[in-house]
Amino acid sequence: MKPIRVMVVDDSAFMRKMIGDILHSDSRLQVAGTARNGQDALDKLPKLDIDVITMDIEMPVLDGISTLKRIMEKQAVPVVMLSSLTTRGADSTMEAMDIGAVDFIAKPSGSISLDINNVKDEIIDKVIHAAGVKVNDTTTRQLATRALPPRPIELPKKQSLKKIVAIGTSTGGPKALHEVLTRLPGNFPAPIVIVQHMPPNFTRSLANRLDSLSELHIKEAENGEVLQNGTAYIAPGGFHLRVRQIGRALAAHVTEEAPIKGHRPSVDILFESLANQTLCQTVSVVMTGMGADGAAGVIQMKKADSNAVVIAESQNSSVVYGMPQAAVKTGYVDLVKDLGDISNVLIDQFLANGGINYGNE
C-alpha cells in the first residue's frame, strides 16, 4: 500500500526532526518534505505530491493561519495544526479549525516541546485519519450550511415534557458544533450539554468563539451550576462532565476523575449520567470523531428510557465516522442524519410529545 506522504512545517529545526522521526516510525507514513515557515511550505507544495500537512501555528515570515488560508484557496490539502497549550495558541487553533484544518495536536510543553514523543500515538493517528478526508467536500458542505440562519421556534404555552440535548464529538467536532449550534435559535427550549475531546484552554476558546457566533449562550460548564434553556455547556478540557438531578432541576457536575478509555472529558460519562436522571427526556447526538466514545453511553440511555432519542451523524458528512459508526452498531440509534440536517432534527424533537419526531423521513 502506498505510504501517506506528509509535509512537516515548523520554524524549529528540532521540532521538524522530532515530528519527522515520529512519522517515520510508522510504515504507513512517509515524510516527503519539510518547510521552515508558511512561505517556504507554499513554495514547495506544488512541487511535491503531498497527502497531509502538519503545520505549526506560530512561525516567522508567514504564520500557520495565513498559510492555511492560502492552502485552502489554492491547493486544498488536509492540514493538522500543531499548537501550544496557551490561550493564544488555543484561540488561533479554533480559527484554524474554522478555516478548514482537519484537526490539531497540542504541543505538550510549548512551541519547542522536548517531550513531543508523549503525543506520538496522537500525531500518527491524526495524520492517518486526515489523509482520508476530502477537504474540498468538507469545505463545500461547511459553506452551504453556514448560509442558513437559525430556524425560529414557536414555543407552546406549556411544554408537556422537559428535554435536554447532549452532544458528543471529537475529530472534526469544532466545525460540526459550529454548524449545529449557530443554526439553533436563542429561545431553544432545552439546555445543551457537550463533550468535545480537547485539552484545557481549547474548550474555553471553542466556547467563546461559538458564543460570539450564535444566538445561544455557549460557555464552559462550571461545577454546580443549574442548567438553563437556550444555553450550551461544553465540558472543560481535562475534566469529566456529568448531569445531576437536584430536586426539579438539573445541574452540571464537573470532576477530575481518571480518564475513561483515554478520554477526559468522556462522552460515555456524560451520556451515562443522563441515564440516571428522571426529570427530562434525553435527545443525544453522536457526531464526527475517532474511536467509539459514546457508544456505551447510548446503550445505557436507551435501556434506562426507551423514549430517549439517539441521533448519529451520517458517514456522508462525518470528517471521521468512528464515533457515529460505533453508536449505530449498538442498534440503539433512532436517526442517522447529515450534519446540515441535525439542527432541524433537534428542533423537530420539540414538536413531539415524548416520542421521536422523524421529520422528513
Q: What is the CATH number of the domain that holds 178?
A: 3.40.50.180
C-alpha span between 102 and 32 (Å, rounded):
19
Which CATH number covers residue 106? 3.40.50.2300
Yes or no: say if 260 and 268 are a contact pair by the CB < 8 Å rule.
Answer: yes
CA distances from 197 to 84, 154, 304, 339 (A): 16, 33, 25, 18
3-state secondary structure of 220: strand
pLDDT tens for the chain, residues 1 to 361: 899 999 999 999 999 999 999 999 999 999 999 999 999 999 999 999 999 999 999 999 999 999 999 999 887 899 999 988 677 788 999 999 988 899 999 888 767 777 899 999 999 999 999 998 877 655 444 444 455 678 777 765 565 679 999 999 999 999 999 999 999 999 999 999 999 999 888 999 999 999 999 999 999 999 999 999 999 999 999 999 999 999 999 999 999 999 999 999 999 999 999 999 999 999 999 999 999 999 999 999 999 999 999 999 999 999 899 999 999 999 999 999 999 999 999 998 876 666 677 765 4
Domain extent, residue 90, equals: 4-133
Of 92, 111, 170, 318, which is the active-site residue? Answer: 170
For residues 84 and 163, membership in a common domain is answered with: no
pTM assigned to the model: 0.90
The helix or strand, by DSSP H or E, that contains position 205, with its residue range, turns out to be helix 202-213
Q: What is the pLDDT of residue 144?
A: 43
For residues 188 and 330, membership in a common domain is answered with: yes
Q: Which residue has the cell 450534519?
A: 339
Q: What is the pLDDT of residue 53?
A: 98
For residues 89 and 174, membership in a common domain is answered with: no
Catalytic residue status for 293: yes
Residues in Cβ contact with 283 at an 8 Å cutoff, skipping those fewer than 6 apart: 163, 164, 165, 166, 190, 308, 309, 311, 346, 349
Residue 145 inside a domain? The answer is no
For residues 38 and 164, membership in a common domain is answered with: no
Q: Answer whether the bond into residue 174 is a cis peptide, omega within 30°.
A: no
CA 216 to chain centre: 18
For residues 124 and 157, membership in a common domain is answered with: no
Residue 306 inside a domain? The answer is yes
Of 129, 197, 240, 263, which is the active-site residue? Answer: 197
Q: What is the pLDDT of residue 147?
A: 52
For residues 261 and 316, membership in a common domain is answered with: yes
Residue 138 inside a domain? The answer is no
Of 10, 11, 293, 348, which is the active-site residue? Answer: 293
For residues 296 and 168, membership in a common domain is answered with: yes
C-alpha span between 169 and 113 (Å, rounded):
27
Query: End of a domain among 133, 163, 194?
Result: 133
Yes or no: say if 310 and 332 are a contact pair by the CB < 8 Å rule.
Answer: yes
Q: What is the pLDDT of residue 115?
A: 87
Residue 201 inside a domain? The answer is yes
Q: What is the pLDDT of residue 361?
A: 46
**Identity of the residue numbered 31:** V
Q: What is the pLDDT of residue 357?
A: 72
Domain count for the chain, please give it.
2
Residue 147 inside a domain? The answer is no
For residues 92 and 199, membership in a common domain is answered with: no
Residue 360 inside a domain? The answer is no
For residues 174 and 208, membership in a common domain is answered with: yes
Catalytic residue status for 170: yes
C-alpha span between 110 and 143 (Å, rounded):
33
Residue 322 burial class via C-beta count within 10 angstroms: exposed 0-12, middle 13-18, buried 19 and up? buried
C-alpha span between 76 and 181 (Å, rounded):
26
For residues 344 and 197, membership in a common domain is answered with: yes
